[in-house]
């Protein structure tokens, strides 16, 4: 079985594993207060052109999302997200469990617009009973989105402008940031300039686990480690996260890895289109969503795994194929050949 259902099926990049083995017997302070975390944080600040940014390392995306939002909001405040947003549909209510409602906005492709956010906020304050409702105070978007789409720089600039005008925080989930950097015109310095907080995903780009939270908003920096600890995110062996992000941030490894997985996904996209299979979303990233006849899926499922995404009609389903840092060229070749051979 050749697996394409997600981008976290394997362990870690060889460079990451080598760094972990090389430093294995080092003795360092715990809880992220070691030289590896300090150096990884500095490398990230340099990549982001944000020398004053606070950088914190957490284990996973859901943990990062709920920790950031819990730290950012007062008890009566809410996060605004797309109705397909990870915090709304794929975290078992983790944000709500911290006491904050997720206000969802409709989205056909995973993105929300600055205009939607403006309308949402203005509708709240125009309601004479607004004090009886959660107050929208933070906008959560993913780059790329859960559907593989990406925000352009112009879209991110517009969102940032609305958030600042209306007094909202802007938080970008970067679980697949490597793919976004390879497929959009938004850079890490852009994110540092335009958002209050974002994170750089390691779990889905060659780390065993780990996300690097980058905070540029001065108010959010205060006491953030208290919130990490309270939410169960303070890792005793935090140096492991530092070692892995050191490796990812050196010599362009993070960017090269993201570019490679996207290039392989574009080969799959071309094969889907050549076969005449439409795409559910126009994704330029490592996630592709072809709409495939049921009979063809039955044949492909004999040798390949993929994620079922949506029933489109009585005889077609949209499915997700993901490439990853570890996807082999020969596996992509085999899938393309088998797609072409289908009746």
pLDDT in tens, 185-226: 999 999 999 999 999 999 999 999 999 999 999 999 999 999
Report domain extents, the chain: 2-7+253-341, 14-249
**pLDDT for res 271:** 98
Q: Which fold has domain 14-249?
A: 3.40.640
Q: Is the pLDDT of residue 142 over 90?
A: yes
Q: Is the pLDDT of residue 2 over 90?
A: yes
The CATH class, in words, for 2-7+253-341 is alpha beta
- Return mean pLDDT, the chain: 98
| Amino acid 155: pLDDT | 98
- The percentage of residues in the chain with a pLDDT greater than 90, rounded to a whole number, is 100
Structure tokens at 32: 């992220």
Q: How confident is the model at residue 33 (pLDDT cuts 50, 70, 90)?
A: very high
Structure tokens at 306: 């993929």
Strand partners, 201: 211
- Position 343 scores a pLDDT of 78
Which residue in this structure is represented by tokens 């206000």? 103
What is the mean predicted confidence (pLDDT) over 178-183?
98
Render pLDDT for 99-130 as a digit per residue (tens, 0 to 9): 999 999 999 999 999 999 999 999 999 999 99
Q: Are 81 and 141 in contact (CB under 8 A)?
A: yes
- Whole-prediction pTM: 0.97
pLDDT tens, residue by residue, 231-259: 999 999 999 999 999 999 999 999 999 99
Quick check: 270 pLDDT over 90? yes
**Residue 153 above 90 pLDDT?**
yes
171 within 8 A of 77, measured Cβ to Cβ = no
């Amino acid at each position: 079985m050749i697996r394409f259902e997600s981008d976290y099926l394997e362990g870690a990049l060889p460079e990451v594993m080598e760094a972990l083995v090389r430093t294995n017997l080092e003795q360092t302070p715990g809880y992220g207060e070691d030289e590896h975390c300090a150096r990884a944080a500095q490398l990230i600040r340099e990549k982001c052109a944000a020398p004053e940014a606070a950088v914190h390392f957490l284990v996973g995306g859901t943990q990062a999302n709920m920790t950031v939002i819990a730290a950012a909001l007062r008890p009566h405040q809410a996060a605004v997200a797309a109705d397909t947003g990870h915090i709304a549909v794929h975290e078992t209510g983790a944000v709500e469990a911290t006491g904050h409602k997720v206000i969802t906005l409709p989205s056909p492709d995973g993105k929300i617009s600055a205009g939607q956010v403006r309308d949402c906020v203005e509708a709240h304050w125009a309601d004479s009973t607004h004090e009886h409702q959660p107050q929208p105070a933070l906008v959560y978007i993913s780059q790329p989105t859960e559907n593989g789409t990406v925000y352009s720089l112009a879209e991110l600039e517009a969102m940032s402008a609305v958030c600042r005008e209306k007094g909202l925080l802007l938080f970008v989930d970067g679980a697949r940031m490597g793919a976004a950097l390879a497929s959009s015109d938004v850079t890490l310095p852009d994110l540092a300039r335009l958002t209050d907080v974002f994170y750089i995903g390691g779990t889905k780009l060659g780390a065993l686990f780990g996300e690097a939270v980058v905070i540029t908003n001065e108010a959010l920096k205060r006491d953030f480690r208290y919130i990490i600890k309270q939410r169960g995110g303070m890792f005793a062996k935090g140096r492991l996260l530092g070692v892995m992000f050191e490796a990812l941030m050196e010599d362009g490894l993070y960017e090269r890895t993201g570019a490679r997985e996207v290039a392989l996904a574009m080969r799959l996209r071309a094969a889907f289109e050549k076969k005449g299979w439409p795409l559910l979303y126009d994704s330029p990233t490592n996630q592709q969503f072809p709409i495939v006849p049921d009979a063809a899926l039955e044949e492909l499922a004999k040798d390949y795994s993929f994620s079922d995404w949506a029933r489109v009609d009585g005889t077609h389903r949209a499915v997700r194929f993901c490439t990853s840092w570890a996807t082999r060229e020969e596996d992509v070749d085999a899938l393309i050949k088998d797609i072409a051979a289908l009746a």
